[in-house]
Structure 1
Amino acid sequence: RAPTPSEAQTPAADSVRGFASLVDSVVPAVLDRVGVVPGVALAVVKGNETVYAKGFGMADREAGLSATAETDFYIASVTKPFTALATAILDHRGELDLDASMARYFPAVEFDPEVHADSVTLRHLLSHTAGIQNDAIVFRTAFSGEHTPEVLTRVLASTTPQRRARRGNFRYTNLGYNIASMVLDKETGRRWQDLLRELVFEPAGLQRTTAYASLPRRDGWPTARPYMGFGPNGLERVYLEKKDNTMQAAGGLYSTAEDLARWVIIQLNEGRIDGKQVFPADLIRETQALEAETEGSFGPFGRTGYGLGWYHGTYKGERLMHHFGGFAGAHSHVSFMPDHALGVVVLVNESSAGTRLAGFLAGLAYEWWLGKPNMDSVLTSGLEGLLAEKSRLEERIITGRANRAKRTWQLTAPLDAYTGTYVSPLYGTAVVTIEDQRLAVRIGNIHAVSTPFTQPNTIRVELLPGRGQVVGFELGEDGKAVRARIDDQAVFERVGE
């Protein structure tokens, strides 16, 4: 067998040493200058080998755990290419049909006729072209963790058309992958987490990649903890960490820079690694093939389309396949240039300045390996831009916090008039209590103590760290709350006393 173009591109030893020398000096200095990103792991793939993999800074500040290339990071939406490949494998085996409809897979669900469930296929779901919306499923699977297969199937019936992007048009959402995992579970009788392990992780030789948040903790894998750089007291640990019930098929993996470098090698070499064809080449080509056109960018990375789990795009005119992931306290970058047999992985455990840092480091790696001239200028201008973005972000967050601190409470009844249990058939159960003389809200795994908002009988909470939600209460004739609305969308009825 002749080598693939990727396999034929083996880097010279002096190139590897030169890159390592640059990064080993630059990254610690950049972390110090940025000041609010605890840790980062970086890997670079060239041809069919990992030419660089290393961690910097701290994975867990409280435990004194350093970040390395073998540290597990939560990778959020970088999960999507894995889910898509597992689904394509089952299609290839005849156990699923990518072109079968939601109506076929869920015959007992009475969908809104305008959803056209008989025309929305698994392929639509995995390429973000289904033209449907169901925020309750996304909320339950990613955030609250309040779900069972039966509950999700019931809530699936509330799916509505996506008004801003009809079927066949791209609009990014977790929903398609959530529904796809429901199909996987239902049709195979296996959990999607176990299917990914058996169909993808094990054949690929990914030793420290898992869809169970409990596994790294149980087995003692070094794991990066989430942080926010611009908390009220500076760099702070994020309270919200993933649990098994919020590890979902659109964003539910822990992995390492070393494992993800292997994943990139497989993508660059049409399913081959370590001299073996671990996935059929046509399946890798199918998941990478363009399914929908789009336009936009994420930082310096352009986006022109989407396949099954992969964005098509560009970086400074070069073709780039990629997927990034973000969650409170985590950002992940996985990308590769097929025309140059080159790929980059960056993982960070901070999601504000850390997101910008990941883009900066990925860009730096590409500039070096593409042989761009004037690397000193590239580094200087890139760092200046990174620090400027960090300053603007910090100023915006601090200003917003200061403005919110000027608000006064607009609650018209005593606090205990709002406490109690509120239930939404779609979104689950919210419990309102009093903590530190303020109302607090809990929905499954997420909770927050409130601050004032501007309208009568409203409060602001950050159930999702860094993202404010407004809870509005409706009072009954007895002066007690009977209903709560979150962001004027999710309606919860108060039950009992």
Structure 2
Amino acid sequence: MKYFLLLFLFASTYIAQIIDTNKIDSFINKTRGRLNLQTGFSISVVVKDSLIFKKGYGYIDIDNKANTTSETPFYIASATKSFVAALNKILMNEKVIDIDEPISTYLPDFKFQTKPLDTETISIRDLLTHKHGIMSLPVVLRTAFTGDYTKEKLFKLYQNAEFTGVNFKYSNDGYVFNSLILEKVTGKTWQNLLEEKIFIPLEMNNTSCRVSDYTSLVLPKAYSTINGEIKELPFLKEDKTMHAAGGIISTVEDLSNWLIFNLGNGDFNSKKILPKSDLDEIHSAQVNCEKTFWKYNRYSYGLGWYLSDYNGETLIHHFGGYTGAKSHISFMPEYKIGIVALTNDEGDGYYLTEIAADYIYNLYLGKNADQIVEEELQTILNSQKETKAEEKEEKPEINSDWNTELLLGEYFSEDFGQVVINENLHLKFGNLNGDLIPSDNKKFICDLKAFRLKVEFTEEEGKAIELRLHGPTTLVFQKVK
């Protein structure tokens, strides 16, 4: 047994020594060319406690040819969850909270109105593993998109949350609710807690939970590349829409420190951050979830991390996506290798984060990386051709027979907040906004950048009294002014 263990350790070390970073660089350059990408892409590779490769490609601002580097800060979206889960374990280790206590322990005056949601039976661990059953679309919209909320309003909205069952159901709600608990218990914001307990100890000096900590010249512009055609998108994040389920901006260099910590024994540069047993618990299966993403067969969710089978190997990961942003953070604990890949492209650049990681892992494991990745790249390229052949932009017919002045004013929903329509038929919904394009009778199309909605008005006595935003679900607002 000892012989085989030594052989395995030697083989892993040997592979790490011979991994050719020039091949990684060449592969990424060639693949970017084949996908016709100019947008920004930044990547790093960690082996054990060493950063062995880091580089930026393309532009964070295409018009001004501003280069991407390994120090470029990107919004990492839902990859934030792994940090918040670790924060909870750190606070538990400090005896500030206990994640196995029911939330009633920390919020004794808070009660759900929807049964069977019960603060006596839902624990903090349930919040972190997505088996809490809490769902509030108003909270998700307000915290991730519109920025129209106060803590008091979030608590009130959560009182009327829907119940989704006790099985795993991925959402933002558990982590947003958890942040409210942490702030109540500690008297500090979740942003400050992350900075104090994780960013500073891990020397993540270019990482923040606040957009205002960066200048517009530093942050990447948001893009979508489809078949070589580049569309610039608005950067929709502001401080109020950075939340605990998706609220970190970081670099591949800083995130490499995060990976080194996760691949190690709970310390960083001789600083103990967590006991190894706590780190092992974070990376262990907490709840079953049979889902497949890309080539990863996800079988469980830990504390802020997915556990997956990846070609017969265990891959622990969490990704993130938002308008003009995609993040990939993953590692293979058995082989002590981890990868960070970030981009400001929600189109074809989105694929590069997964293709590059797949190539590097296969290269590291001594497999035929070029052949394996070529197959999936061909699938993407073929899909591009089909998309281009079928792609037709929907252009609604303009109906100019309405008295649009009747539609102007303020509309309000207790759940979703305020919508304002001005004299230019421009709709503002918190941080989201877009022009109303007349479609058919009393209906409009509005591109809110994050998503396109159909807008419908209800009239009474020649005046608009109600506005409906039709998307994945319908949001209803009453005219108040």
TM-score surpassing 0.5?
yes
Who is 2:327 aligned against?
A: 332
SS of 1:203's partner is: coil
385 and 275 in structure 1: CA distance in 2 versus 1, 3 angstrom threshold: farther
Q: Tell whether 2:466 aligns with 1:483.
A: yes
Residues in 1 aligned to 2:386 and 2:280: alpha-carbon distance in whole angstroms: 41
1:440 aligns with 426
Q: Is the 8 A contact 1:312 1:322 kept in 2?
A: yes
User: Given the alignment, which residue of 443, 459, 483 partners 2:444?
Assistant: 459
Task: Note the C-alpha offset of 1:489.
Answer: 2.9
Is 2:114–2:159's contact at 8 Å kept on the other side of the alignment? Answer: no
Q: Which residue matches 1:116? A: 118
1:303 aligns with 2:298: yes
Distance 1:160 1:395 in 2: 42
Aligned to 1:414: 403
CA drift of 1:33 comes to 2.1
> CA 1:308/1:376 → structure 2, altered by over 3 Å: closer, same or farther?
closer
Worse-superposed segment, 56-65 or 272-281: 272-281
Structure 1 residues 6, 345: CA separation in 2 closer, same or farther (over 3 Å shift)?
farther
Aligned partner of 2:70 in structure 1 is 69
Residue of 282, 285, 290 corresponding to 2:280: 285
Q: Distance in 2 between matches of 1:13 and 1:90?
A: 35
CA distance in 2, matches of 1:314, 1:371: 18
Cα distance in 1 between the residues matched to 2:385 and 2:268: 42
When structure 1 is superposed on structure 2, of 485-494 and 75-84 the one drifting more is 485-494
Determine if contact 1:422/1:494 at 8 Å carries over to the other structure. yes
Match of 2:221 in 1: 225
Q: Name 1:198's counterpart in structure 2.
A: 196
Name the residue aligned to 1:158.
Answer: 160
Gaps of 5+ in 2: 1-7
**The one of 407, 410, 414 aligned to 1:425:** 414
Match of 1:472 among 456, 466, 469: 456
1:209 alignment counterpart: 207
- C-alpha distance in structure 2 between counterparts of 1:448 and 1:363, whole Å: 38
Greater mean alpha carbon deviation, residues 30-39 or residues 101-110: 101-110
Q: Greater CA deviation, 421-430 or 116-125?
A: 116-125
Q: Name the Cα RMSD after superposition.
A: 2.5
Distance between the aligned counterparts of 2:388 and 2:277, measured in 1? Answer: 46
Amino acid at match of 2:453: Q
Mapped pair 1:185 → 2:196: no
Deviation string for 1:97-143 (max 9, x for gaps)?
A: 21233344333344224122321221111111111210111111100
* Alpha-carbon distance between aligned partners in 2 of 1:37 and 1:452, rounded to the nearest angstrom: 34
Kept in 2, the 8 Å contact 1:7–1:48? The answer is no
So what's the TM-score if we normalise by structure 2? 0.91
Post-superposition offset of 1:378 = 3.0
1:138 and 1:359 map into 2 onto residues whose CA distance is 27
Note if 1:358 corresponds to 2:344: no
Alpha carbons of structure 1 residues 187 and 390: separation in structure 2 relative to 1, 3 Å: farther
2: CA distance between counterparts of 1:6 and 1:451? 63
- Tell me the distance in 1 between the aligned counterparts of 2:244 and 2:385: 34
Task: Call closer, same or farther: CA 1:392–1:448 in 2, change over 3 Å.
Answer: farther
CA distance in 1, matches of 2:135, 2:104: 16
- For residues 471 and 190 of structure 1, what CA distance do their matches in structure 2 show? 40
Q: Which residue does 2:146 correspond to in 1?
A: 144
CA contact (8 A) 1:411 1:458 kept: no
Shift in Å at residue 13 of structure 1?
7.8
Give 1:92 deviation, angstroms. Answer: 2.0
Structure 2 CA distance for partners of 1:189 and 1:395, relative to 1, 3 Å: farther
Q: Aligned pair in 2 of structure 1 residues 111, 7: CA closer, same or farther (>3 Å)?
A: farther
Structure-2 separation of matches of 1:343 and 1:7:
19
Report percent identity of matched pairs: 31
Q: CA deviation at 1:411?
A: 8.4
Aligned to 1:384: 378
Structure 2 CA distance for aligned equivalents of residues 117 and 72 of structure 1: 38
Q: Structure 1 CA distance, aligned partners of 2:77 and 2:336?
A: 25
- Shift, 1:464, TM fit: 3.9
Q: Deviations over 1:6-39 (max 9, x none)?
A: 99955678624x2x21122222222222124501
TM-score w.r.t. length of structure 1: 0.89
Kept in 1, the 8 Å contact 2:411–2:477? The answer is yes
Aligned equivalents of 1:425 and 1:391: distance in 2? 46
Quick one: structure 1 residues 266 and 13, their matched pair in 2 at CA, closer, same or farther if it must change by over 3 Å? closer
- Whole-Å Cα distance in 1 between the matches of residues 168 and 46 of structure 2? 30
CA contact (8 A) 1:410 1:457 kept: no
Give 3-state SS (helix, strand or coil) of 1:442's partner. Answer: strand
Give 3-state SS (helix, strand or coil) of 2:200's partner. helix
Aligned residue pairs, count = 472
Task: Please state how far the C-alpha of 1:418 moved relative to its aligned partner.
Answer: 1.3
Q: Give the whole-Å Cα distance in 1 for the aligned partners of 2:89 and 2:453.
A: 37
Please name the residue that 2:435 is paired with. 449
Unaligned stretches of 5+ residues in structure 1: none
